[in-house]
Structure 1
């Protein structure tokens, strides 16, 4: 039944088969794209709000992201034809919803690719002590990111994701060991801290968006051999991410203190910083490739859905795929090196879109299906607990969207006022 209506259909006899992923490989892909440079900002969040509320927030958001993962997977299994957030938007809000959510997915994926290019730039700069122009580091990093995003199926990328996951785990451990062996003398630590709403929410956005990978979930599940096993992958991801985030944030903060930088590796002693950044490079590469692949795959499936170009090695299919990969990676590179406030723009994109994809819209999925598959409002009343939780999830996404956008825009204004914004395409 599922395979009769899903986006790739029955693939017997096709030259290119998409539905090849096991849940184990999907969990690896999920970890590779989510547990990446975002975790390096978590210790600095603890420095702003204190170790107790910061740790509680990291764990709570991990549990919350697990719940929204469950809602997304349920929606996907109920609607096998959904390949990406745009398709889900069509079901919820009609044609406008499709275009809006598809646009948001592409924008966020391209910006996230650019974010990984900047992470690579920082890593290469740390390794070489910034002896070259920073823009050159970004260009060097962009080339393998482009090449690794080129495979048509996620199965190929899943095997590349295994060393990616290993690299971020080892890099995190190296970072914690380096912090422990070279702690900051006379450091100050805070169990709790009072901060302004602006500073507190800026720090809160770090763990909020460290879990922001749900925009890829539909695409990942669409390429599974057994989509009904998707929650096994999601549980593996969220269990690992929540535990690793919590341990890494606390250990680094305890040894470095309130002066910890973001990214946290930059607070380590030079040798340990180089080791951590160097080992993390494969993760930054593959995460960026996955994001660029996602943006390209959404458009590619949209263009060729139901045609032979999707499943066969045609000149047209490969030409369009190559063009899409070049455009997405090229756009990410130009944004990363050409827009001085690009880090802030990533924050805006995350606030506008990832807040909904990771949190808010999952509530709308449950409300929609329970209404249309049941007795409408009477189903909501009968399942009032789930209804309230789904509604609260939707409202939480809205709050994160509005508040996150506000603090990011304020950050841009403050940066321009202080003169800290650099020039485009500069070293």
Structure 2
């Protein structure tokens, strides 16, 4: 197999040709096309890659987005998957027990890899599917595209907001609350925008390596510290540290909250289409994501299991806070790097949707010019500003993330991928003259995984929303929510 996919693409739209454009570009009559026109992309447009379509015509002013190899793509995906959430895993094990935590983590991790494989096969069949919203448009029409596009932006913005909050907490710890924490949040937002000026995911590969190295270092420091420190650091009222194979007093909110946290940890699947679209050979992402997912499962099991064993019922989230102050400061210093970089990767998935959606039929899509670069910076700046405001304005931010996970993360990582498999492989959806078969162990395995993914998503969505609503109600009843833009 060659390392480059060869296709014949229609010529990109030129300013002088706009009045006569027909066929594969859907007859747009504006430059750049309006959001209304973009939302009504004709089905045949999903069969060609808009990046590669402009290679020859826009040669002197062309940014080669499709430049990533499988190692680079794997690093970017790993930076998104293995981030600060690894240090919330001990609390997941606390709620599910040691056995339950291992089963949930390994099971959902393996299932997320299978659903990513399904997405890659779909991408190879429809090279013009640049992101999840395109997949929705191909399967469900313009409203499917709009709803999934809105979900991508909502999830990316929520993810950015969580990194603003985590970065603020890290700077508060490192500086001993030197200034109002709102200023720290603003600093995180500004630095994130400045680090997001590159449009290509491939340019984030080196930063992704740094991010993964730093979070693994922070995890190692925390594991060692909780293992060797005196139990008196955690023990209260003389009750010794205990861990359990199964939860002792499980309740629905705790279990569902833990499962939505695991789903959120594997929410990087939302970026699979986006990352594949910037690879020389998108099919190689199966290798990339195998390493990413295997690494994530191993890290989450080790971090969650060992720290839960060392901290028992005194586990906190993030696990940094279980250690003494000098250790906590050291771990946060490494984690801060990961907070910044992984937040950029996650938010850029939603930003790239907006960028491609706005300029899909315009030469600005692959232009090196100032207008294209300013458009990109404007999009990421707007999204990071929204993330900052959201994080500071809404007092129940953790519950908001649960809502986002229940509505979008579980469907992007699991449920919609099951739908994609049926659309792409099942004989019921075969087009005229197309022969499909689902016989054989391999096809049966994927069909079972697709059904399981859909059932899982249908179950988690209402239960997750219920859990979030109960958390909001209890928070207001107890008066634990802070007021907007609080300095504490």
CA distance in structure 1 between the partners assigned to 2:231 and 2:191 by the alignment: 36
Q: Give 2:474's aligned residue.
A: 414
The one-character-per-residue Cα deviations of 1:93-144 (angstroms, maximum 9, x if unpaired) are 1111000001100110011011111111111112122232221221122221
**308-317 or 235-244, larger mean C-alpha shift:** 308-317
Q: Specify every segment of 5 or more residues in structure 2 that has no aligned partner in the other structure, as ranges.
A: 9-47, 233-239
Report the CA distance between 1:83 and its aligned residue: 0.5
Work out the CA distance in 2 between the residues paired with 1:51 and 1:388: 27
Q: Which residue number in structure 2 is paired with residue 190 of structure 1? A: 244
1:27–1:236 Cα contact (<8 Å) kept = yes
Task: Tell me the residue number matched to 2:33.
Answer: none
- Counterpart mapping for 1:74-85 below 5 A: 74-85=121-132
For 2:465, which of 385, 400, 405 is the aligned residue?
Answer: 405
State the match for 1:241 in structure 2. Answer: 296
Inter-CA distance 385–19: structure 2 relative to 1 (3 Å threshold)? closer
Q: Aligned-pair distance for 1:158?
A: 1.8
Once the two structures are superposed, residues 234-261 of structure 1 have per-residue CA deviations (whole angstroms, 9 ceiling, x without a partner) of 1010010000100011111111111111
Aligned counterpart in structure 2 of residue 261 of structure 1, from 302, 316, 328: 316
Aligned to 1:366: 421
Match of 1:298 in 2: 353
Alpha-carbon distance, 1:315 to partner: 3.9
1:305-320 to structure 2, matched below 5 A, reads 305-320=360-375
Q: Distance in 1 between matches of 2:346 and 2:288?
A: 18
Aligned twin of 1:174: 221
- Residue 167 of structure 1, CA deviation: 0.6
Q: Contact 1:20/1:223 (CA < 8 Å) preserved in 2? A: yes
Distance 1:139 1:409 in 2: 29
Cα RMSD over matched residues?
A: 1.9
Aligned to 2:344: 289
Using the alignment, how far apart are the partners of 1:43 and 1:311 within structure 2? 44
How far is 1:231 from its partner? 0.3
Structure whose alpha-carbon radius of gyration is higher: 2
Within the candidate set 176, 181, 184, 1:134 is matched to: 181
Aligned residue number for residue 410 of structure 2: 355
Number of the residue aligned with 2:27: none
**Structure 1 Cα separation of the partners of residues 377 and 446 of structure 2:** 44
How many residues of Structure 1 are paired with residues of Structure 2 in the alignment? Answer: 427
- 2:385 is aligned to 330
- Does residue 425 in structure 1 map to residue 468 in structure 2? no
CA shift digits 1:300-327 (9 cap, x unpaired): 1111113211122334323322221210
Following the alignment from structure 1 to structure 2, what is the Cα–Cα distance between the partners of residues 33 and 49? 24
TM-score with structure 1 setting the length: 0.95
1:200 Cα deviation (Å)?
Answer: 1.7
Matches for 1:270-281 after TM superposition, within 5 Å = 270-281=325-336
Given the two structures, how large is their TM-score scaled by the length of structure 2?
Answer: 0.84
Once residues 287 and 321 of structure 2 are traced to their aligned partners in structure 1, the CA distance between those partners, rounded to angstroms, is: 35
| Cα distance in 2, alignment partners of residues 266 and 279 from structure 1 | 14
Comparing 406-415 with 195-204, which one deviates more in the overlay? 195-204
Q: Which residue of 2 aligns with 1:6?
A: 49
C-alpha separation in 2, matches of 1:264 and 1:421:
22
Q: Which residue number in structure 2 is paired with residue 109 of structure 1?
A: 156
CA distance in structure 2 between the partners assigned to 1:377 and 1:77 by the alignment: 18
